[in-house]
Amino acid sequence: MFTRLAEQHRQFVKDLVMNLQAMAIVLERRGYLASCYTCGGQMNSASFMVSLGDNHLIRFLVSDYGITWTEMRDDRELMKLEGAEAISQLQDLANLIKYQIQPAEQFAITNAS
């Protein structure tokens, strides 16, 4: 059972890394400063960053050790989430791309709650 769970987790991380890479490409094409770096060819970790303008930065880290979402403005940490909450926030960012919502509008709502 544990071997199967470990393999499922590795596959989950790999899928997440591939989606982060795709999201960075789409964001760049839409004019955002975005990047996604991975270590090695294993696809077992990634560092994703995007600038939403006005010194507003999102950093999403994923590895076998955990998942973290950090949102910063003017070099100050606004929000730090881990695990499922971090992935939910990543979905909000994906919705920005999908529905082409202005970043300031969406994240002003997110930060107010």
CB within 8 A of 75, min separation 6: which ones? 55
Q: Which pLDDT belongs to residue 108?
A: 47
Nearest 5°: the CA angle 31, 36, 38 is 165
**How far, in Å, CA of 84 to CA of 12, rounded?**
13
Say which DSSP state 14 is in.
H
CA dist., res. 44 & res. 14, Å (int): 6
Query: Given this model, what pLDDT does residue 33 score?
Result: 94
Q: Tell me the average confidence (pLDDT) per consecutive run of 10 residues in the chain, 113 residues long.
A: 94 94 93 92 92 92 93 95 96 85 50 47
CB-CB contact of 57 with 50 (8 Å)? yes
How many Cβ atoms are within 10 Å of 88's Cβ, its own excluded? 11
pLDDT at residue 42 in the model: 84
- pTM assigned to the model: 0.82
